[in-house]
């Protein structure tokens, strides 16, 4: 396993850091407070070729690996968590179409996604189904030459703004997860509408919308993978998605540490900078160590994915650990800032609210532990 | 139309540090970038090319590492980049620099427009663009904030201290641009990767058939004797209170200093 970046990866990362420093980070607070879709940032991600990093070049991508995609995601999330989240959620449509799509589907849907001309979203969660994928109640019923969808998805990131949705439905409710099927649905398809946009603890500019399907008719060419193969599409997509969430968590944790350190050096109490006190130093040391460990777990999962090795357990470990690290690190950052950290004059209180998302989204910490435990018991249980 | 953009690689910080012994800029540990005004010139050239077709060639004179600055402009979309690099160019002042750049423009031939930034953020002289126009014997427009091309004429809007001026010149011409003319594009990753592999053309003094008495130290009548940061001014004295009081205090101080 080797995390030495080659020349191309280094060039891309340097360029992304410059972009983040010059264009994203200075406006992060504004982007958050605006409460509207960060259209300008998202357009720039497309113009910079960042929306299809692991997509083959003949489908409009950069033809690079998931490790690069993850490293870029950390920088984006660190600079502007909201923009980083759009980037992460976009991959949840890009990856399944890239992996399971037919040539025709790739040409029609993947290319504009990879170029950033279209934004992607992924719909699994429902009012009665989240952790329990087998409980998906959105139905797709075969009807002549196509399918008719009925049901509601909730909390869908990029919902309403995205053009291309990968939707997990049930084509055969008697078969549980084996009766699930994935579809590509375009915004504007008759019978596909958007409902409530959730008001959340953080990310007011990031849409998490309800998707409502009412007799929404799709041609059979929109079936992604095979009928009954929807659970596989969902699990593979969530595997990659967990890498994305893990690195997003590393990004926000890093933002918190990088805010806390200069503050600790500059804030004086008892005639000394508080960074000279061990109580603060130990916090900073733990924060830095845990961030590094979280990043390495995440990079390992990405590396395994890039080398076509099983990575589900490792992605779950990365997502579990990184999200909990983000929570601990951002909480400590608020503590380092003391009373000021609790005010909106500094960004650390926002980081703390943003970090909480990662422990819940795309499989809660509890679900990650189940995924890991199942594998560990299978591997070591004898 | 064939457009040439002359750029300079400069240290990123505007807070330039100077070696007290050699009076040269300290470059160690400072990231090098394309002079920001020159980035505006490249952007202006790319926009003209997009509107009228043609080719954008970027030239810089500098040490071998100035290649990085040229690659950045290729990533932005320039078609070709030329590095003028030779020991004979070392120590060039603005006169010798404009000599070498003019020789390169002439060697390219068939150039319709030369664009430069209004000045470099390290030396801050703003002389090279004007010098280049003189060397080439073509019209010059400095401090341009807007450019329009019609047939063989260029109409430029200039920013002056307290007014704008619109002037028209015949092409070929040399134009220097200000920051407000545009927002330089951020190169796409695809272009960044392409630019890394792009060929950078290198020309020496011999390639330019340069007269060596006009280049480098020998061609530079200007010698920098000493460069130093201005001494920090000690904070002045603030007088507070009602106008009458302040006037009285001020008068007292002036009397005390016996400067009148």
**Are A366 and A268 members of one domain?**
yes
Using CB atoms and an 8 Å cut-off, which of residues 52-91 of chain A contact chain B? Answer: 53, 62
The Cα A313–Cα A296 span in angstroms is 15
Environment class of A51 (CB within 10 Å of its CB; exposed 0-12, middle 13-18, buried 19+): buried
The Cα A22–Cα B185 span in angstroms is 12
Which residue among A7, A12, A23 places its CB closest to the CB of B189?
A12
Q: Which residue of B has its CA nearest to A12?
A: B189
C-beta separation of B68 from B32 below 8 A:
yes
First to last CA, chain A: 27
Residue B229 in domain: no
**Are A89 and A182 members of one domain?**
no
Residue B245 in domain: no
Which residue among B186, B188, B192 places its CB closest to the CB of A11?
B192
pLDDT computed for residue B240 by the predictor: 86
Q: Which residues of A touch B193 (CB under 8 A)?
A: 8, 11-12, 62
Q: At what angle do helices B189-197 and B67-76 cross, to 10 degrees?
A: 140
C-beta separation of A210 from A194 below 8 A:
yes
| B152: confidence class by pLDDT, cuts 50, 70, 90 | confident
pLDDT digits over B25-41, tens only?
A: 676 778 889 999 999 99
C-beta separation of A330 from A352 below 8 A:
yes
Q: A62 vs B186: CB contact, 8 Å cut-off?
A: no
- Nearest by Cα to A157 from A99, A200, A101, A106: A200
pLDDT computed for residue A130 by the predictor: 78
- Nearest by Cα to B120 from B16, B217, B250: B16
Q: Which residues of B touch A11 (CB under 8 A)?
A: 192-193, 196
The Cα A121–Cα A89 span in angstroms is 6
Q: B189 vs A23: CB contact, 8 Å cut-off?
A: no
Which residue among A7, A48, A53 places its CB closest to the CB of B196?
A7
**Are A41 and A111 members of one domain?**
yes
Q: How many CB atoms lie within 10 A of CB B197?
A: 10
Q: B186 vs A23: CB contact, 8 Å cut-off?
A: yes
Number of domains observed in the structure of chain A: 3
Task: State the average pLDDT over residues A244-273.
Answer: 97
Residue A262 in domain: yes
Task: State the average pLDDT over residues B200-225.
Answer: 91
Q: Does residue A71 register a pLDDT over 70? A: yes
**Are A127 and A157 members of one domain?**
yes
List the single best residue of A7, A11, A44, A75 to mutate versus B (max B Cβ within 10 A): A11
Strands (E), A32-125: 120-123
| A270: confidence class by pLDDT, cuts 50, 70, 90 | very high
The Cα A202–Cα A80 span in angstroms is 13
Interface A–B counts its CB contacts (< 8 A) at 30
Which residue among B186, B188, B196 places its CB closest to the CB of A11?
B196
Region label for B146, one of left (φ > 0), alpha (ψ between -120 and 50) or beta (otherwise): beta
The residues near A274 (Cβ < 8 Å, ≥ 6 apart) are: A264, A267, A268, A280, A336
The Cα A5–Cα A69 span in angstroms is 12
**Are A20 and A114 members of one domain?**
yes
pLDDT computed for residue B119 by the predictor: 93
pLDDT digits over A1-34, tens only?
A: 899 999 999 999 999 999 999 999 999 999 999 9
Residue B257 in domain: no
Q: Is A193 in the active site?
A: no
**CATH value at residue A18:** 1.10.540.10
Any bridge partners for residue A268, and if so which?
Answer: A273
Residue B246 in domain: no
Cis peptide upstream of residue B172 (ω within 30 degrees of 0): yes
Domain coverage including residue A47: 7-119
pLDDT computed for residue A368 by the predictor: 96
pLDDT digits over A324-364, tens only?
A: 999 999 999 999 999 999 999 999 999 999 999 999 999 99
Residue B215 in domain: no
Q: A8 vs B196: CB contact, 8 Å cut-off?
A: yes
The one catalytic residue among A258, A362, A366, A379: A362
List the single best residue of B185, B193, B197, B198 to mutate versus A (max A Cβ within 10 A): B193
Cα distances (Å, whole numbers) of residue A12 to A74, A113, B63, B66, B187: 13, 19, 25, 20, 11
Residue A1 in domain: no
- Nearest by Cα to B146 from B51, B75, B78: B51
C-beta separation of A48 from B189 below 8 A:
yes
Domain coverage including residue B178: 2-203
Residue B108 in domain: yes
Which residue has 């560990």 as its token pair?
Answer: A376
Q: Does residue B231 register a pLDDT over 80? A: no
Show the tokens assigned to A225: 């993978």
- Confirm or reject contact between A50 and chain B (CB < 8 A): yes
- Confirm or reject contact between A23 and chain B (CB < 8 A): yes
pLDDT digits over A303-330, tens only?
A: 999 999 999 999 999 999 999 999 999 9
Show the tokens assigned to A133: 């994928």
Which residue among A11, A19, A62 places its CB closest to the CB of B186?
A19
Least confidently predicted of A79-93, A237-251, B204-218: B204-218
pLDDT computed for residue B15 by the predictor: 64
Q: Which residues of A touch B39 (CB under 8 A)?
A: none
**Are A86 and A43 members of one domain?**
yes
pLDDT computed for residue A140 by the predictor: 97
Q: Does residue B200 register a pLDDT over 90? A: yes
Q: Does residue B230 register a pLDDT over 80? A: no
Residue A356 in domain: yes
More confident call, B18 vs A176: A176
DSSP state, A126?
Answer: B
**Are A252 and A325 members of one domain?**
yes
Residue A177 in domain: yes
**Are A244 and A374 members of one domain?**
yes
| B109: confidence class by pLDDT, cuts 50, 70, 90 | very high
Q: Does residue A248 register a pLDDT over 80? A: yes
Is the alpha carbon torsion for A299, A302, A308, A310 positive or negative?
positive
**Are A169 and A188 members of one domain?**
yes
Q: Which residue of B has its CA nearest to A44?
A: B186
Least confidently predicted of A101-105, A167-171, A371-375, B256-260: B256-260
Q: Which residues of B touch A15 (CB under 8 A)?
A: 187, 189, 192
The chain-wide mean pLDDT, for chain B, equals 91
Show the tokens assigned to A10: 């280094």
pLDDT digits over A174-189, tens only?
A: 998 999 999 999 999 9
pLDDT computed for residue A134 by the predictor: 81
**Are A108 and A132 members of one domain?**
no
**Are A107 and A126 members of one domain?**
no
Residue A2 in domain: no
First to last CA, chain B: 64
Number of domains observed in the structure of chain B: 1
The Cα B159–Cα B229 span in angstroms is 28
pLDDT computed for residue A59 by the predictor: 97
Report the complex ipTM.
0.82
- Nearest by Cα to A2 from A299, A291, A308: A299
**CATH value at residue B171:** 3.40.50.620
Work out the minimum CA distance from A44 to partner chain B, whole angstroms.
9
| B234: confidence class by pLDDT, cuts 50, 70, 90 | confident
pLDDT computed for residue B14 by the predictor: 62
Q: A47 vs B186: CB contact, 8 Å cut-off?
A: yes
Residue B128 in domain: yes
pLDDT computed for residue B221 by the predictor: 92
Q: A15 vs B189: CB contact, 8 Å cut-off?
A: yes
Q: Which residue of B has its CA nearest to A50?
A: B189
Residue A372 in domain: yes
- Nearest by Cα to A55 from B245, B190, B195: B190
pLDDT computed for residue B16 by the predictor: 66
């Amino acid at each position: 396993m080797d995390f030495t970046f080659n020349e191309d990866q280094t060039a891309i990362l340097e360029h992304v850091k410059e972009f983040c420093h010059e264009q994203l980070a200075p406006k992060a607070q504004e982007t958050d407070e605006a409460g509207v879709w960060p259209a300008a940032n998202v357009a720039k991600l497309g113009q910079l070729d960042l929306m299809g990093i692991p997509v083959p070049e003949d489908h409009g991508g950069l033809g690079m690996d998931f490790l690069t995609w993850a490293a870029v995601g950390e920088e984006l999330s660190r600079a502007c968590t909201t923009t980083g989240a759009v980037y992460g959620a976009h991959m949840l449509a890009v990856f399944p179409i890239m992996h399971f799509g037919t040539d025709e589907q790739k040409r029609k849907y993947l290319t504009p996604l990879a170029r950033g001309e279209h934004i992607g979203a992924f719909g699994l969660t429902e009012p009665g189904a989240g952790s329990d994928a087998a409980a998906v109640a959105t139905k797709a019923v075969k009807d002549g030459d196509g399918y008719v969808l009925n049901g509601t998805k909730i909390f869908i990131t990029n919902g309403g703004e995205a053009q291309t949705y990968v939707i997990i439905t049930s084509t055969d409710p008697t078969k549980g997860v084996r009766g699930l099927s994935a579809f590509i649905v375009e915004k504007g398809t008759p019978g596909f509408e958007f409902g409530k946009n959730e008001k959340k603890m953080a990310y007011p500019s990031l849409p998490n919308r309800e998707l409502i399907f009412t007799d929404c008719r799709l041609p059979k060419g929109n079936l992604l993978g095979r009928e009954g193969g929807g659970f596989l599409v969902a699990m593979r997509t969530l595997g990659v998605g967990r890498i994305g969430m893990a690195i997003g968590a590393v990004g926000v944790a890093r933002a918190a540490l990088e805010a806390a350190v200069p503050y600790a050096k500059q804030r004086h109490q008892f005639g000394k900078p508080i960074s000279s006190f061990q109580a603060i130093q130990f916090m900073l040391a733990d924060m830095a160590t845990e961030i590094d460990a979280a990043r390495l777990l995440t990079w390992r999962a990405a590396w395994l994915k890039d080398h076509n090795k099983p990575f589900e357990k490792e992605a779950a470990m990365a997502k579990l650990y990184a999200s909990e690290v983000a929570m601990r690190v951002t909480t400590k950052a608020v503590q380092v800032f003391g009373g000021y950290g609790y005010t909106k004059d500094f960004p650390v209180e926002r980081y703390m609210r943003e970090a909480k998302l990662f422990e819940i989204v795309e499989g809660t910490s509890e679900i990650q532990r189940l995924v890991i435990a199942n594998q560990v018991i299978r591997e070591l249980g004898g | 139309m064939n457009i040439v953009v002359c750029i300079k690689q400069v240290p990123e910080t505007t807070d330039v540090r100077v070696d007290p012994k050699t009076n040269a800029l300290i470059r160690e540990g400072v990231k090098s970038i394309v002079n920001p005004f020159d980035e505006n010139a490249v952007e202006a050239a790319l926009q003209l090319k997009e509107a009228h077709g043609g080719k954008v060639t970027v030239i810089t004179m500098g040490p071998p590492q100035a290649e990085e600055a040229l690659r950045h402009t290729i990533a932005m979309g320039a078609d070709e980049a030329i590095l003028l690099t030779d020991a004979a160019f070392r120590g060039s002042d603005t006169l010798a620099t404009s000599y070498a750049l003019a020789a390169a423009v002439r060697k390219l031939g068939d150039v319709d427009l030369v664009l430069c930034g209004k000045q470099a953020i390290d030396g801050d002289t703003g002389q090279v663009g004007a010098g280049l126009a003189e060397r080439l014997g073509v019209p010059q427009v400095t401090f341009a904030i807007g450019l329009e091309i019609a047939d063989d004429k260029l109409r430029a809007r200039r920013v002056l201290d307290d007014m704008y001026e619109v002037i028209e010149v015949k092409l070929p011409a040399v134009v220097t641009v200000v920051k407000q003319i545009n927002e330089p594009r951020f190169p796409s990753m695809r272009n960044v990767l392409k630019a890394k592999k792009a060929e950078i053309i290198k020309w020496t003094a011999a390639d330019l058939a340069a007269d060596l008495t006009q280049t480098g130290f020998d061609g530079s009548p200007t010698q920098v004797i000493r460069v130093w940061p201005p001494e920090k001014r000690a904070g002045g004295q603030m007088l507070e209170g009602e106008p009458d009081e302040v006037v009285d205090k001020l008068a007292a101080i002036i009397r005390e200093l016996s400067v009148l």
